[in-house]
Amino acid sequence: MTIQTIKESNATVVTISGRMDAMTAPEYEKTLNEFIASGETSFVVDFQGLDYISSAGLRALLATAKLLKTKGGQILLSNVLGTVREVFDISGFGTIFKIKDSVADALADLG
């Protein structure tokens, strides 16, 4: 899994590619927790290049979302496609997270 981040005017965009599983999910969680600890509260997670997500990946997403909620922050997901989208739909995570078609749509939604 690779993680790239870029600061936009109203959010930090986190682009994830590869596989998000028990081996790589802690890296995602650590990265976002560091941003949150430094005061960032708005995130767009771009899944355009994500090929696979496991239950460990879903747990990491949920953990960071809960932490953000305690800080008055928010997280939106974009480009949740293919089998990753199927996992979100089957697990019910598609109703837990705000999912947008593109990073631009997610950033616009954050205002």
Q: How many CB atoms lie within 10 A of CB 12?
A: 20
* pLDDT confidence of residue 111: 77
- CA dihedral (98, 99, 102, 105) in degrees, to 10, reads -30
* pLDDT confidence of residue 24: 97
* pLDDT confidence of residue 97: 96
What is the CATH classification number for the domain harbouring 18?
A: 3.30.750.24
Q: Which helix (H) or strand (E) holds 8?
A: none
Q: What is the pLDDT along the chain (111 residues), one digit of tens a residue?
A: 999 999 999 999 999 999 999 999 999 999 999 999 999 999 999 999 999 999 999 999 999 999 999 999 999 999 999 999 999 999 999 999 999 999 999 999 997
Domain extent at residue 64: 2-110
* pLDDT confidence of residue 42: 97
- The dihedral of CA 98, 40, 9, 59: what is its sign? negative
The count of structural domains within the chain is 1
